[in-house]
Amino acid sequence: MQKLYEAADRVEAQMLKDYLEEQNIATVMLGDFLSGGAGELPANLFPALWLVKDEQLTRAKWLIDEYMQNKIESKSGAWRCPSCGESVDAGFEICWNCSTPGKKVK
Ligand SMILES: [Zn+2]
């Protein structure tokens, strides 16, 4: 098993886990259950996702990148060009790279 991603909190870890499962990538969440040891400092407060099948590592990492990118874009209002795939700021209605109108497509 490979450690895939360390999440900021359990909600984020769970969302990502669900997302990866939709893509047929199985993960297990470890880490946030380890706190609460008797008098010891918690080794790791953050929940981490571990990949069940190592051979899916490249794809899983790529999917996480995509997921994070989409999350940032939906927050800022930026959109992704349907033609060339570039990320375009919210203030633009055509792609800065290839001039494809994109906003209404979303
Ligand atoms: Zn474009």
Share of the chain above pLDDT 70, in %: 83
CA of 64 to the centre of ligand 1 (A): 22
The 3-state secondary structure of 23-36, one letter per residue = CCCCEEEECCCCCC
Average pLDDT over residues 1-10: 89
Answer whether 49's CB lies under 8 Å from 4's CB.
Answer: yes
Q: Is the pTM of this model over 0.85?
A: no
pLDDT over threshold 80, residue 14? yes
- What is the residue whose two structure tokens read 């886990």? 17
pLDDT over threshold 80, residue 36? no
Q: Which residues surround ligand 1, an ion (CB under 5 A)?
A: 81, 83-84, 86, 95, 97-98, 100
- The better pLDDT of the pair 95, 104 is held by 95
CA of 97 to the centre of ligand 1 (A): 5
Range with lowest mean pLDDT among 51-55, 85-89, 101-105: 101-105
CA of 78 to the centre of ligand 1 (A): 13
Domains of the chain are 2-76 (3.30.70)
